[in-house]
Amino acid sequence: MGVTIKDVARETNLAISTISKYLNGGKVRKKNQKVIEDAIRKLNYTPNGMARGLRSSRTYRVGLIMGNNTNAHSSTLLKEIENRMRERGYFLIFLNNDYCVPRQTEEYVDFLVENGVDGMIITTIGKDLDYIRRAREADIPVVIMEECHTAVDTDCVQVDCTGGAYEVIEHLIKAGHRRIAAINGMDESQTAIERKKGYLRVMEDYGIPVNEDYMIQGDYKSESGYLGMKELWQRKERPTAVFAANYNTCIGVMEAVYELGIKVPEELSIVCFDDFELSVMVRPKLTAVCQPLTEMADAACELLIRRMNGDYDDYPRRIRLKPECIYRDSVLHMCGSPSKNGNKECRKKTDRDCGMIEKGK
């Protein structure tokens, strides 16, 4: 450090402002351009971010507030966002709010507002989103990722969780399952609400009554999956399939399944919202809803960058991405077994050919 724009000006016999202008993409005489470039290289000059930020009130820093758990979900999002932002010349300031704890989130948002970032991407739950408004008032754009709240008009990037849950549970139904349990997430989470809604809708569409005994209130953490699964297995009439509302829940389910010695998929089929990078280690391989993580990161970054550049044309924007179901080996195809819906027999035991049930009643 130590070499400033002043030194470059002296070296080139140009005015400070000319250098500054050039540095910021302004037009300069061709000859001067070369002179400046040379001087910069020679002196090994780099602009001082602080001074720049102080003056222009642009910091080139963006905040990212999200959980950072040991799963592909967290690490992929973080990695992708960091990468994109750096490419665009922004620093990423990372703050971990664990499981989206609202109080932490609020503290961090205020922290970032006070300390000056150009924008932020956050994941959060809960309804009290005053802190989002505070950021807005400080003119700092915020993009909410994953958990989009209807309570606040904000830009957000979310996944069609309802659709994803619907599809993967429809897969169970088409495979002949009726006693389908769900271990859900907490009610403060929009994604959890949506996933549950997906469950309820598909059950309704196929005319399968929802058994409250099969609806477990979880909290997206593995313990709730573990306990939930144990509970389910004590029902007089056990479910033949279970839907785990997220990655961690599924981990817990698997743990219980191993402990209880349940055979998957023979005794129990499992589907999960969130895909496993480690799917290779898990037997049987799980049928799961895979979220478009890269696209989410992409979309959030692009949107935030546009806002930071003052482009608010389409504000507030709600981007909804489609997840993808990946069919693997954790679902037993019971086609051919008796069914109230009168579905015909399966010809083959593949995913595609098992869709014998007509939708609706």
Partner DNA sequence: CTGAAAGCGCTAACAG
Partner DNA sequence: CTGTTAGCGCTTTCAG
Binding site for DNA (CB under 7 A): 2, 4-6, 13-18, 20-21, 23-24, 26-29, 31-32, 47-48, 51-52, 54-56
Q: Given the complex with DNA, which of 26 and 207 has the nearer CB atom?
A: 26
Q: Given the complex with a second copy, which of 65 and 203 has the nearer CB atom?
A: 65
**Interface of this chain with a second copy, residues 127 to 156, rule: CB under 8 A:** 138-139
Is 4 a binder of a second copy (CB under 8 A)? no
Q: How far is the CB of 11 from a second copy (least distance, A)?
A: 18
Spatial distance between the Cα atoms of 304 and 22, rounded to a whole number of angstroms? 26
Residue linked to tokens 């482009």: 311
Spatial distance between the Cα atoms of 19 and 36, rounded to a whole number of angstroms? 7
Could you tell me whether strands 119-122 and 61-66 are parallel, antiparallel, or unpaired per DSSP bridges? parallel
Q: Minimal CA–CA distance to 170: which of 25, 304, 287?
A: 287
Q: How far is the CB of 89 from a second copy (least distance, A)?
A: 10
Residue 340: how many other CB atoms lie within 10 Å: 8
User: One symbol per residue from 283 to 322: x for binding a second copy (CB under 8 A), - otherwise; what is it?
Assistant: x---------------------------------------
Q: Given the complex with DNA, which of 52 and 134 has the nearer CB atom?
A: 52
Spatial distance between the Cα atoms of 114 and 357, rounded to a whole number of angstroms? 57
Q: Give me Rg for the CA atoms of the chain.
A: 26
Share of the chain residues as helix, strand and coil, in percent rounded to the nearest 5 = 45, 15, 40
Binding partner at 281 among a second copy, DNA, none, C-beta below 5 to 8 Å by kind: a second copy
- According to CB under 8 A, which one of 15, 37, 49, 127 is a site residue for a second copy? 49
Q: Minimal CA–CA distance to 199: which of 289, 127, 100, 275?
A: 289
Phi–psi pair at 142, nearest 5 degrees = -130, 130
Binding partner at 114 among a second copy, DNA, none, C-beta below 5 to 8 Å by kind: a second copy
Q: Given the complex with a second copy, which of 153 and 277 has the nearer CB atom?
A: 277
Is 46 a binder of a second copy (CB under 8 A)? yes
Q: Across the chain, how many H-helices and E-strands are there?
A: 12, 12
Asked if 278 contacts 250 with a C-beta cutoff of 8 angstroms, the reply is: no
- According to CB under 8 A, which one of 17, 24, 33, 70 is a site residue for a second copy? 70
Binding site for a second copy (CB under 8 A): 1, 46-51, 53-54, 59, 61, 68-72, 74-76, 78-79, 82-83, 86, 91-96, 113-116, 138-139, 251, 254-255, 258, 277-278, 280-283
